[in-house]
Amino acid sequence: MIATEPGTLRMTFSREPVVGPASPTLTFGNKVIPSATYSETNGTAVITVNAAVPVIATFGNEGRTLIVSPVSTPSQTTATTSTPTTAPAQPTPAPAPPPIPSVAPRRYFAVVDASHGGDDHGEALSTTLAEKDVTVVLARSLRRELESRGITTLVLRDSDANLPVDQRAVFANADHAAIYIAVHATSSGHGVRVYTALLPYGEDDRGPFRAWTTAQHPALPLSQSTASAVASELQKRQLTVRTLSAALRPLNNVMGPAFAIEVAPQGSDVSQLTAPDYQQLVTSAVATAVAGVRDQLGSAP
Amino acid sequence: MKLEEIPRHLLIGFAILLAATLGLSVYAWHMRKTAVAPPAAVVDTRPLAPPVAGPSERVVLFIAHDDDGTLRGESAQIPMPSGRQQRAEELLRALLSRYLDKDSPHRLGAGADIRSVYLVDPGVAVIDLNSAFADTHRSGVLVEQLTVASLIQTISVNTPNLLKVKILVDGKDRETLAGHADLSSYYDVAAVNQLATQLQAGQ
- Over residues A91-150, the pLDDT tens digits come to 334 444 444 444 556 779 999 999 999 999 999 999 999 999 999 999 999 999 999 999
Residues of chain B predicted below pLDDT 50: 40-43
Q: How far apart are CA A23 and CA A12, in angstroms?
A: 16
Taking the Cβ of residue B162 and every Cβ of chain A, the question of whether any pair is shorter than 8 Å is answered with no
Helix ranges, A148-193 (H): 165-174
Q: Are the Cβ atoms of A201 and B145 closer than 8 angstroms?
A: no
User: Count of CB contacts below 8 A, A vs B?
Assistant: 91
Taking the C-alpha atoms of residue A95 and residue A41, their distance in angstroms, rounded to an integer, is 9
What ipTM did this prediction achieve? 0.74
Question: Is the pLDDT reported for residue A86 higher than 50?
Answer: no
The span from the CA of A219 to the CA of A172, in Å, is: 13
Other CB atoms within 10 A of residue A257 CB: 26
Chain A residues 93-152 with a CB less than 8 Å from chain B: 116, 120, 122-124, 131
Nearest-neighbour CA in chain A from B73: distance (Å): 18
A246 touches chain B (CB under 8 A): yes
Q: How many CA atoms lie within 13 A of A35 on its CB side?
A: 7
Q: What is the pLDDT of residues A211-249, one digit of tens each?
A: 899 999 999 999 999 999 999 999 999 999 999 999 999
Which residue does chain A place closest to B65, by CA atoms?
A: A189
- C-alpha–C-alpha distance, residues A214 and A202, integer Å: 6
User: Which residue among A190, A248, A252 sits closest to B180, beta carbon to beta carbon?
Assistant: A248
**Chain B: nearest CA to A234, how far in angstroms?**
14
CA distance A80 to A96: 13
Strands A9-12 and A65-70: antiparallel
Chain B neighbors of A252, CB-CB under 8 A? 182, 185
Angle (CA) B98 B102 B103, round 5°: 70
Minimum distance, in Å, between the CA of residue A152 and any CA atom of chain B: 28
**Reported confidence tier of residue A62, pLDDT bands at 50, 70, 90:** low
Show residues of chain A in contact with B176, CB under 8 Å: 249
Of the candidates A188, A200, A249, which has its C-beta nearest B142's C-beta? A188
Is A244 an interface residue toward B (CB < 8 Å)?
A: yes
Exposure of B121 in the CB half-sphere (CA atoms within 13 A): 2
Q: Is A18 a residue whose pLDDT tops 50?
A: no
Backbone angles phi, psi at B173, to 5 degrees: -65, 145
What pLDDT, on a 0 to 100 scale, did the predictor assign at position A90? 39
Q: Please indicate if any CB of chain A lies within 8 Å of the CB of B200.
A: no
- Say yes or no to pLDDT of A286 above 90: yes
Residue-level pLDDT at A39: 72
